[in-house]
Amino acid sequence: MAAELSRALAGKHVVITGGGRGIGAAVAAALAAQGARLTLMGRNRGQLEERAAALRTLGGPSCEVHCEAVDVADEASVAAAFAGAAERLGPVAVLVNNAGQAGSAPFLRTDPALWQQMLDVNLTGTYLATRAALPGMLAAGWGRVINVASTAGEKGYPYVSAYCAAKHGVIGLTRALALEMAHKNITVNAVCPGYTDTDIVRDAVANIREKTGRSEAEALAELAKHNPQGRLVRPEEVANAVLWLCLPGSEAITGQAISVSGGEVM
């Protein structure tokens, strides 16, 4: 069984948005180890190419990794990126919607521009990428859509109302689409990390330090205290949840928001 699972995704084309760093990079490594053919998407092509080179070094000559620069909030950019990915590696079998941003401000300082940006990147980006990938899954009669949401899609946090609204929307989209796809052999799920050791959290730490004068250790502790385990989640832990949803045996799991948060949400 272990040998079978070691190549469970062999030949399947996986697209990961926001694939150049953080959770996206960890997901890419986990799925490449299962034999997936990868398209990494993101705004920074140089960063994507660096990640692709690292994956090829780990996976050897058989590790296929393609890169597409994309603005997930722009319909034309998404369409072009997915067309290029399909031309290179074929129809998309697994989509991991990981691209996201987390801008913060008190509610009365959350201007329409910040509000719209959070919706565009986190929610509309998920919609556009899914809309581009889904026809290939339907034609193949198999597919997996995994949306990297957040515990901010399951509860509220102060000073990130726009981000929370967008991530709640991602979970709502996940549940609705899962029901539409229930008879199509396509599952749709959300993975909801708590505060994770990524650049986004490092930016939050810097913001706390700037506004409160706390040390880096104190700022990190402020975020880690949300997790009952008293720590930040590791990107690899999120990647393992994503991988499980792609592997044989997870077929009955759909429409779920799976919290990876040390017990913060249960």
The residues that are catalytic are 163
Structure tokens at 139: 């034609």
- Helix, coil or strand: residue 145: strand
Question: Among candidates 14, 35, 37, 17, which has minimal Cα distance to 25?
Answer: 17
- Helix, coil or strand: residue 195: coil
Return d(Cα 238, Cα 218) in angstroms, integer.
24
Return d(Cα 246, Cα 259) in angstroms, integer.
17
- Helix, coil or strand: residue 41: strand
- Helix, coil or strand: residue 58: helix
**Neighbour count for residue 56 (Cβ, 10 Å):** 15
**Neighbour count for residue 263 (Cβ, 10 Å):** 10
> For residue 25, how many C-alpha atoms fall within 13 Å in the half-sphere facing its CB?
19
Return d(Cα 10, Cα 13) in angstroms, integer.
9
